[in-house]
Structure 1
Amino acid sequence: MKRLLFLVVKAFQAFDWPLLVILMLMAVLGMTVMHSAVGDTDWRFADQLRNFGLAFFAMWVVALIPPPKLMRLAPLVYAVGVALLLGVEFFGETSKGATRWLNLGIGRIQPSEMLKIGVPLMLAWYFHRHQGKIGFLDFVVAGVLLLIPFALIVKQPDLGTALLVFGAGFCVIYFGGLSFKLLAPAVIALVLAVGTLVYYEDQICMPDVDWVVLHDYQKHRVCTLLNPSSDPLGKGFHTIQSMIAIGSGGVYGKGYMQGTQSHLDFIPERTTDFIFAVYAEEFGLYGGILILILYALLILRGLTIAVRAHTQFGRLLAGSMAMMFFVYVFVNIGMVTGILPVVGVPLPFMSYGGTALLTLGVACGMLMSISRYRPGRR
């Protein structure tokens, strides 16, 4: 009996309660919107409820693992993830023009999801091992560790996941001490590239122009972002319909389950990538502000845990997990509102999907593990 009581107490001690409260609120809100978005396909609602259960269980299990053990697992997780990506390259299964899945005999997996956690975990381990003597060569090594999985994921192609992996890994490198002076040339080059793209849109978006570094469908997504009306019933349909749904919601929204754009099937992928359009149409501007506040609290709590962490590994890993949430939200809402091209990034704790939710659950479990860890305390 005492043993059971001890295990129960230990289980509750694993939670970071401010973070848990935020996640519970987001789960309730996510399931509420999912109920409206699924329409007649009620099986997706039940599946998403199961996905949340699995994600919270994974979060609890990871929260019980102290950061030193997580650090020892980092090289193994990274190596297995890269090996599986290479397996996808040579033996992967293709679906809808993309080779992202690997059949292990007992089921299919998408190894790129594993690298959302594996890359920042590995980079945090590397900088922790070299803390106090980090030089330029260390940033070069870290860059190589980041670019290997990034390049393999881009080749699948899966630009959305590649951006998330790159964003989470880059945050570790930046928090590890990368000087902003080294970033200035890259920022200037990016601004010039975007300006050139906008200025010469008519010429470079011609059908016979090859962008070399991007696939044709990725080129079309960028050109559609610049001018959605150029193909309103084709490539621009997603963006146009989501913007109509968000705008029609107005300030107060049309009311729960009263969204016409979603329930009349005008919004494509309304349960996954474009679920924010369903939410904004039904809950309006005030609802949009509410969910942005919840995401801000989630990110702020993650950064607070990073600041209070007792080890370099904990600070870097917690900071990258918090910024990964930011990249998720920024890219998804950006593409739904027509600010960014459509790249297939889900909205955290809102979009339907088991793998993405499991990844988010593991990330939150790591934050809780870092939050509760005290060096020298058993």
Structure 2
Amino acid sequence: MVNGEFMEALDQIEKEKGISKDILIDAIEAALISGYKRNYGSAQNVKVYINRETGDVRVFSLKDVVENVENDLLEISLEDAKKIDSNYEIGDIVEKEVTPKNFGRIAAQTAKQVVVQRIREAERGIIYDEFVNRESEIVTGIVQRISKGNVFINLGKTEAILAPSEQIEGETYKHNDRIKTYIVEVKKTTKGPQIMVSRTHPGLVKRLFELEVPEIHDGVVEIKSVAREAGSRSKIAVYSHDPNVDPVGACVGHKGVRVQAIVDELKGEKIDIIKWSENPEEFIASSLSPSKVIKVEVKENEKSALVVVPDFQLSLAIGKEGQNARLAAKLTGWKIDIKSETQYGDYMRQQNNC
């Protein structure tokens, strides 16, 4: 027997955890059928009833009413069925109580196991629902442990995994470090939700600016695009919907305090903030910051641009190992060919001689 106190406990679970008492009892009944078959022979068809008030558990064997009995564990003749109740007909099911004397102990044990399992499943479901709606957001957590290169981050109710491929090169993570990460994906697994986070995703930079810059959070300033080489340099293109608000100034902050907070969070990653323009020439010229640009020639159909910079700024425009040019191309979505003034002059003379 599952006692009345246990049934009261199910009422409490329903209130506190939001798990329906009826669903729990149905699950317990299903588990008890398996328990009965395991302990008392699996050949019979049985049904388990739990009294919703008292917790009283009763087991019934189920037998089909047939003309000729071939298996007396599953079938009963019409003649024998009518001895129990004269109303039985062929095709009906006869229920006969077969509750074993010591079944109460098995029932109580099984009921507890089922409830614990269902509570665990429900809590996992709640955590999954909470975090699946937070994909592409930032979470702050504490480094719990590091195993096989994976960093496990405690988020309070659950933990997130920062895989090696999502870690910034050269960044070290120590136990109890407090870090911000970007939720890339939330997967449902048998062990509960698996939350995959990143420190390298361009979305991390975008979300950090949203946290740090009220004008972005309020929708006055919009981040149009982000290009990032994690741990080294990022470029963001910003646009203001209010002509009185300078989007670059808003992101930089007074004495650079806003952008510096983000640079600190990203352990010194350089950030270029560029004013977005719907004019491709202007946008491409700005994207090559900090280099000055003399001229931009665009080929709309090829989405490519030829950019001319002063001779002394060619290496600055291209950047170390081509990084500045690469990030500018990512930011704008245009293929960019950079030439110095001298190279451009030579190029134009060749074109004219052709």
Q: Same fold (TM over 0.5)?
A: no
Instruction: Name the structure with the higher strand share.
Output: 2
TM-score, normalized by length of structure 1?
0.22
Q: Which has the higher contact order (CA 8 A, sep 6+)?
A: 1
Which protein is bigger by CA-based radius of gyration? 2
Instruction: Name the structure with the higher helix share.
Output: 1
